[in-house]
Chain A
Amino acid sequence: MKTIYLDNNATTQVAEEVLDVMTPYFRELYGNPSSMHTFGGQVGQKIRVAREQVAELLGASPEEIVFTSCGTESDNSAIRSALLTRPDKKHVVISRVEHPAIHALCSHLGSQGYKITELPVDKNGILDLENLEKSLTSDTAIVSLMWGNNETGVIFPVEEAANLVHEKGILFHTDAVQAAGKIPINMKNNVIDMLSISGHKLHAPKGIGILYIRRGTKFSPFLIGGHQEKGRRGGTENTPSIIGLGRACELAASNMEKENTYVRRLRDKLEHELLKKISQSRVNGDVVHRLPNTTNISFEFVEGEAILLLMNELGICASSGSACTSGSLQPSHVLRAMGVPFTMAHGSIRFSLSVNNTEEEVDFVIDKMPAIIERLRGMSPFWNKTGQSCTTQ
């Protein structure tokens, strides 16, 4: 059975070009970039190139790029650094829809005596900047707002938000793990202080991430050890992955247009056809301010895990915000923050595409989904024989 992978916000396939540049650094060129000998030093040179490639994608300077092990480490480093370099300030502002790397960290900090403000979003997942402004106090150390939401794809106006926050002398961090490579990012055009990226969301391997730290920003390292990354992140460099990520960033830059034309068109086709063919379905999240590859669709009166497992039988991979898939008993915190009704939230499916997807794959999914939903609705006590909901809940 062929796998149809529409779960690219979970992880992506390592690009062939990326793997190609990585492989020599496992066996032939295994030297430590910190070594004095040429054998190691030549690897250090390749890391410099990779750092330039990453900086290029972001419109940043190479020295502003710190390699980490993942997006979560980048997020943790940014928030903790802000609190350590501003020890007199105890207040952090985030949104209700942040990724767990921020959300769970801040809940933890909340239990350690910090004050956390979680900004609400509206029913489309949009942030109100007035609320942000009102939340800032003289005690605020940092504001962290995600650039693109992993579940709905909704884009926050982080550049505007950063301006607002900066005026008050407060640091601004953004989790750009989903945005990077899908929409243009140019750090020359904004005042964002720190930004996190994860390699495996843009066709580089898992286990590599980036923290962008704007020049002049005080920084306190999360991992303390050797002098690597100019003392900002101890630990021997993950050389193959760093070199792979550099190449992946180059590819992302050259695929940016395809992402916003080809991928967007496939996503729009999938969404449009599913909504047309399946009654009582709807899109979660704003459809204008949205990443080009993501759609989050709710099918009323059926449960997400059951949908995913029937899709799985056909080789189709996606995700759900239903309670049953999370291991918790409540649907996704993102959908709840948006006030998506329970009838809808439990039956939500996230499709996230990439440049690797084809029209045939999308057509196959469009063809198969109606029967899957119909089959489960046929078993649902809330759905009667005339194909109508029989509940007012």
Chain B
Amino acid sequence: MWEYTDKVKEYFLNPRNVGEIENPDGAAEVGSLACGDALKLTFKLDENKRIKDAKFKTFGCASAIASSSALTEIIKGMTVDEALKVSNQDIAQYLGGLPDEKMHCSVMGKQALEKAIENYRGAPPLEAGAKIICECFGVTDKEIERAVRENNLSTVEDVTNYTKAGGGCGGCHDAIAQIIEKVRSEPKIDSKPKLTNLQKIRLIEDTIEREIRPSLKHDGGDIEILDIIGNRVIVALRGACSTCKASDITLKDFVQHRLQELVLPDITVEEASK
């Protein structure tokens, strides 16, 4: 049985805003019966161009229904510009979190919201030129790229949990792996997504493991994370580094610099007092 939060259960059992708005300002349908979940979102604006009402109809599991309902609650009162900034993580967080395997439900909400706003603006689809990568679930390269970027995904399994891509025949796993590699090698832009504490800690560990430790080891040294307090990373240097006179420079110019670049600009690295 899935470990749903009380809020997911509450929004599934007593969903808010079920239905369809007549003559909506924006409307969109994403997903399909074949995929196992689908969402139809409609919204209406008030005279101040704020979202006055939003309604959903969803075919899917409990978390799909709860995510859709949460989305409609979140965007009420927002301008469309504000609504566009709502991320799938905001939807998941609103519900107190979703099981990893169910994150695609929150992504479906985000997709429906974007499409509905596009529909309102009458703009051409954002994702022109997208190519289907996962034939089983009809997921495009653009969608995968975005999920990888916004949720900092690193494995094919992650991508499947977030987008469903790769969850069917498995024929696209190599293509997904290539997209992950491509996105992860992109220079990071400033507007990083908000990280939860847990994600931040994981990312720091990951970055040290992948980007930092190999270089130190190459010189006979090593590094160990002792603690992470807010954005302060407390480390101990080992091996050759522990006696190296230039270790301060290594810490600030290399370790801290890489973590700031790859995790958060506010990170500081300190060596534990010996």
Q: Which residues of A contact B (CB under 8 A)?
A: 301-306, 309-310, 313, 322-325, 327-331, 342-343, 346, 378-382, 391, 393
Chain B residues positioned under 8 Å from A378 (CB to CB): 18
Quick check: B137 and A313 within 8 Å, CB to CB? Answer: no
A325 to B61, CA, bound (A): 9
7 tightest Cβ-Cβ pairs between the two chains A and B: A329-B167, A324-B61, A381-B40, A305-B61, A381-B57, A380-B59, A342-B34
Quick check: A380 and B36 within 8 Å, CB to CB? Answer: no
Chain B residues positioned under 8 Å from A382 (CB to CB): 33, 38, 59
A298 to chain B, nearest CB (A): 12
Contact of B32 among A323, A325, A393 (CB under 8 A): A393
1/0 per residue, CB under 8 A from A, across B62-74: the answer is: 1011000000000
A272 to chain B, nearest CB (A): 27
* A309-B12, A309-B62, A327-B101 known; A381+B39 contact, CB < 8 A: yes
1/0 per residue, CB under 8 A from A, across B1-28: the answer is: 0100000010011010010000000000
- B57 (CB) vs chain A CBs: closest residue: A381
Query: What is the interface residue range for chain B against chain A?
Result: 20 to 34
Quick check: B167 and A346 within 8 Å, CB to CB? Answer: no
Quick check: A381 and B29 within 8 Å, CB to CB? Answer: yes
* A380-B58, A381-B59 known; A329+B13 contact, CB < 8 A: no
Interface status of B60 (Cβ within 8 A of chain A): yes
Quick check: B13 and A313 within 8 Å, CB to CB? Answer: yes
B19 to chain A, nearest CB (A): 9
Quick check: B61 and A303 within 8 Å, CB to CB? Answer: yes
Chain B residues positioned under 8 Å from A343 (CB to CB): 33
Quick check: A323 and B33 within 8 Å, CB to CB? Answer: no
- A325 (CB) vs chain B CBs: closest residue: B61
A379 to B41, CA, bound (A): 12
A304 to B2, CA, bound (A): 13
Which B104-141 residues sit within 8 Å CB-CB of chain A?
136-137
Report 5 cross-chain contacts, Cβ distance below 8 Å, ordered by A residue.
A302-B59, A322-B36, A330-B136, A330-B168, A346-B36
A323 to B35, CA, bound (A): 9
Contact of B167 among A303, A309, A330, A379 (CB under 8 A): A330
Quick check: B36 and A324 within 8 Å, CB to CB? Answer: yes
Contact of B57 among A304, A324, A328, A379 (CB under 8 A): A379
- A331 (CB) vs chain B CBs: closest residue: B36
Contact of A303 among B15, B18, B60 (CB under 8 A): B60
Chain A residues positioned under 8 Å from B15 (CB to CB): 379
Quick check: B13 and A324 within 8 Å, CB to CB? Answer: no
A324 to B160, CA, bound (A): 13
A310 to B14, CA, bound (A): 11
Chain B residues positioned under 8 Å from A305 (CB to CB): 2, 61-62
Task: Report which residue of A327, A328, A382 has the largest number of chain B beta carbons within 10 angstroms of its beta carbon.
Answer: A382
1/0 per residue, CB under 8 A from A, across B133-166: the answer is: 0001100000000000000000000001000100
- B4 (CB) vs chain A CBs: closest residue: A309
Quick check: A306 and B13 within 8 Å, CB to CB? Answer: no
Interface status of B261 (Cβ within 8 A of chain A): no
Interface status of B270 (Cβ within 8 A of chain A): no
B173 to chain A, nearest CB (A): 13
Interface status of B205 (Cβ within 8 A of chain A): no
Task: Report which residue of A305, A322, A323 has the largest number of chain B beta carbons within 10 angstroms of its beta carbon.
Answer: A305
Interface status of B37 (Cβ within 8 A of chain A): yes
Contact of B33 among A330, A379, A391 (CB under 8 A): A391
A378 to B40, CA, bound (A): 13
Chain B residues positioned under 8 Å from A304 (CB to CB): 61
Quick check: A303 and B34 within 8 Å, CB to CB? Answer: no
A316 to chain B, nearest CB (A): 14
A382 to B36, CA, bound (A): 12
A342 to B61, CA, bound (A): 14
- B32 (CB) vs chain A CBs: closest residue: A393
* A329-B160, A329-B168, A378-B18 known; A342+B36 contact, CB < 8 A: yes
1/0 per residue, CB under 8 A from A, across B35-56: the answer is: 1111110000000000000000
Quick check: B33 and A306 within 8 Å, CB to CB? Answer: no
Chain A residues positioned under 8 Å from B65 (CB to CB): 306, 379
A378 to B101, CA, bound (A): 26
A22 to B2, CA, bound (A): 33
A303 to B58, CA, bound (A): 10
Quick check: B137 and A342 within 8 Å, CB to CB? Answer: no
Chain B residues positioned under 8 Å from A303 (CB to CB): 36-37, 59-61, 64
A342 to B34, CA, bound (A): 5
A327 to B160, CA, bound (A): 11
- A320 (CB) vs chain B CBs: closest residue: B61
Task: Report which residue of A324, A325, A331 has the largest number of chain B beta carbons within 10 angstroms of its beta carbon.
Answer: A324
Contact of A380 among B34, B57, B167 (CB under 8 A): B57
- B105 (CB) vs chain A CBs: closest residue: A324
